[in-house]
Amino acid sequence: MSVEERRAHLVEAAIGLAEKKGVAGVTTRDVAQAAGVSLGVVHYCFENKDALMTELAKALSMELRDSVDADEAVWQDAGTGIEALQQLVRAGLELMWLNIEATPERQLLTYETTTYALREGESTPAKLAIAREQYTFNDSTVADVLDHAREATGTEWSVPVQTLSRFTLNMIDGLVLRWLVDNDSAAVRTQLDLITEMITGYAVPHPDHASGS
């Protein structure tokens, strides 16, 4: 394996362990054993557990991003204008939700990673960086999806996309946490409709399309 392949293998092993015993209970020795490698290999790929947990959080975020990008037909047949943007954002949220719904253990792990970083960060500031990097990465992921939707439909956002991505991520965070509690997928889809309306309420036609040129 290349170093990148080895790192990905170790992250996947860490995810499997963390799903079973929680982030706090995972050690680099556990990861080495689960991955079938020596402890030295783990420390060659990751400086410490915090570095491994940071990559774990990013890997979980990438899975959601990939779920939105996976269906090329959704993006290619988007059309133009605000209505097309609404349909595209809602379709993107649905693709994301299908991934979330199929992986409840990984969604719970996302919250556990954040809680672990916040709790441990009280005494070890470096651990707090795990949560901050996690949310920074998530913000950029959502921003990229929103910008992709804007470009695909010939529209513009009336507020900075970074502001909109943070707002969107906050809503999705709460939505997923509530679903983990009550498992009400029907309610989630109704709320995704509302989220779509709120997000696209900050969209305007691109000047070229608005002028008909």
Residue 178 pLDDT grade (very low, low, confident, very high; cuts 50, 70, 90): very high
pLDDT in tens, 91-125: 889 988 998 999 999 899 989 888 888 888 777 77
Rounded distance between C-alpha atoms, residue 194 and residue 8, angstroms: 36
Residue 82 pLDDT grade (very low, low, confident, very high; cuts 50, 70, 90): very high
Tell the burial category of 75 from Cβ atoms under 10 Å away from its Cβ (0-12, 13-18, 19+): middle
- Report CA-CA distances (Å) from 109 to 23, 61, 212: 8, 11, 48
Lookup result for tokens 């709120």: 198
Report the predicted TM-score, pTM, of the whole model to 2 decimal places.
0.82
Answer yes or no: are the C-beta atoms of 65 and 99 closer than 8 Å. Answer: no
| Sign, CA torsion 162/103/50/175 | positive
